[in-house]
Structure 1
């Protein structure tokens, strides 16, 4: 059994697959993939994945790549793929994140109600995709759990961040399932830096229900080590959307400096205690909701390294904030994501949550 089948089987064994998911793809589904590449290494593997996706559900690729690459992609993708450029006026309300413009271009062309939005490094199994679609029977938005495969050293480092997020309630993956009617009700979502958090907050602020599915494990291809290092400060900047987390991270270096300056405090003991706490938190996240099937023990041991990285990068992100925002895809974005309170003022009551209909025998059916 291959690695992808192992994780699909793990999710099935935990009862995550409904009868609707087992029945196969629904006629009202669509997979949306925003794409913007400046070079094409790895495109053949992505094209193979897209070809497989097309046998499960309709696929729309909104491709903002330069014209020569766009033309090459067209030749690599199956004829059944809807392959289109993004429309600049589909960028959402405020911000400059081109990924949001690409998603909203696809949403406004779609006639399907159940949508899966996924970054170009996400790799669903057929069973996992069906489960995400089926979960929209009684939710407006579904949040699965990503895991890296393969796992080079820098992916293990980044996985420790995922584990810490899981320990504190939930990670933010590179893929979400959402009802098109929910996005239509809010007229999309803003093109901010942390676009998936913005999408989640927009739907829930408008009255939609979010279903977190941390046991629905969806594979993700790791970035190159070079790209990984380029992401460090940008990912830290995302925490301007989460003030409690932001202040905690900003406090790490000053508190550590004050403690280490005390002559009577054994410095090695302080460092070991901090490192042990980070590993313990990450291990808790690894053990939650079947995480051990996707995250090997070594990933938790990278948590102290990630904590030190974030403690340094968050101050660099603060400097960028003071300078007008973080550079992203050729633009500068200041807003990480809007607060839930601000989004409630704008969207509250716009979404009427889907309800499950019951037949005479009490069996539930998706609306």
Structure 2
């Protein structure tokens, strides 16, 4: 592993001394969707890196559109979860200690970039909050999930801030798990890093199309294998709903009202009302009903097929248990961290 002491790299002009890493692997050119955003970003951020795992002809089209104002790279390694290979390629190439990793549907504004950089001065990882704009029906549906998550330790966004040297000194994070953002944050925690979850720092996210949204329902439920208590609670939703329904429709209505009230409390936390419309909380019963069913589908996917489909393979592990990360942090480079996922799998089988 390279020397990863913090590098004091001056930013050019009035640009933020910040690296921005965007991993992408597209089947059709993304020039229309991303070119304007990347150009605006390059006027603010000193070091914008697009790590592009797209096929050759698409990579070339992206290069023609973007290479004049961003660094456009190929992934330098392979991982089962291809996003991690893109992220770690960008992290290794980054010029600045403070960096932001973001999916291709995330859209930062200047003020949010400034605040992320400020938080990274005192924390090793920063988890802001996403909200969707525009709001088709399925974005409103999924916004209810965000509101309920905000009652606890916060929602999981499509972007994180991280200190480059800390992540590299920790050995990187596994590319053999499904819930890669949780894996990254757990790795930072295992190495002794500090996390900030600013509930009032909102970054807009473009919603997927309806077909993609529907395709992600079981996969997102499968993520909760990484948090067994939460997964057990979600599995309990369906039998609980059946029991409540036997008492009469009034009981189900009361449960739905309680769910909406909980989502509204999440909307009010951290000035969430500034980005989540009041109608968002009304979708909470629908989202819980979905999760009540898809949790059992995720369980069946694990027991019958051994894991959930991810691109052309199946992935068994949602994330590495934290105690395994704590035992191994910093000992191996991230691209061999697949061994940790195997250890987790072996331990699960022995406990079963």
TM-score class, shorter-chain normalisation, is 0.7 to 0.9
Count matched residues: 317
Note closer, same or farther for the CA distance 1:72–1:349 as it changes in structure 2 (3 Å cut): closer
1:63 aligns with 2:52: yes
Distance 1:269 1:190 in 2: 47
Distance 1:326 1:302 in 2: 26
- 1:68-79 map, 5 Å: 68-79=57-68
How many angstroms does 1:348 deviate by? Answer: 8.2
How many angstroms does 1:78 deviate by? Answer: 4.6
Which one of 215, 226, 229 corresponds to residue 211 of structure 2?
A: 226
Aligned to 2:249: 268
Which one of 238, 253, 276 corresponds to residue 253 of structure 1?
A: 238
Aligned to 2:340: none
Which one of 45, 49, 52 corresponds to residue 40 of structure 2?
A: 52
Distance 1:183 1:210 in 2: 13
Which one of 107, 130, 140 corresponds to residue 123 of structure 1?
A: 107
Aligned to 2:26: 37
Q: TM-score, normalised to structure 2's length?
A: 0.87
Distance 1:178 1:88 in 2: 20
Distance 1:184 1:240 in 2: 26
1:186 aligns with 2:175: no
Q: Cα RMSD over matched residues?
A: 1.7
1:171 aligns with 2:155: yes
- 1:338-357 map, 5 Å: 338-347=320-329
Note closer, same or farther for the CA distance 1:164–1:332 as it changes in structure 2 (3 Å cut): same
Which one of 146, 158, 162 corresponds to residue 162 of structure 1?
A: 146
Query: Equivalent residue of 1:167, what SS?
Result: coil
Gaps (5+ residues) in structure 1? 1-22, 351-367
Contact 1:144–1:218 under 8 Å retained in 2: yes
1:112 aligns with 2:112: no
Query: After TM superposition, which residue ranges in structure 1, 4 or more long, deviate above 4 angstroms?
Result: none
Q: TM-score, normalised to structure 1's length?
A: 0.83
Aligned to 1:136: 120
1:19-71 Cα offsets, whole Å, 9 max, x none, are: xxxx96443x200000011123x631311100111111111101111111111
Contact 1:202–1:343 under 8 Å retained in 2: yes
- 1:97-108 map, 5 Å: 97-108=81-92
Moved more, 151-160 or 339-348: 339-348
Note closer, same or farther for the CA distance 1:287–1:331 as it changes in structure 2 (3 Å cut): same
Contact 1:44–1:76 under 8 Å retained in 2: no
How many angstroms does 1:84 deviate by? Answer: 1.1
How many angstroms does 1:220 deviate by? Answer: 0.4
How many angstroms does 1:342 deviate by? Answer: 2.1
Contact 1:122–1:174 under 8 Å retained in 2: yes
1:214-256 Cα offsets, whole Å, 9 max, x none, are: 1111010000011110110010001111111100110111122
1:195 aligns with 2:177: no
Contact 2:50–2:73 under 8 Å retained in 1: yes
Query: Equivalent residue of 1:214, what SS?
Result: coil
- 1:291-330 map, 5 Å: 291-322=272-303, 323-330=305-312
Distance 2:312 2:28 in 1: 16
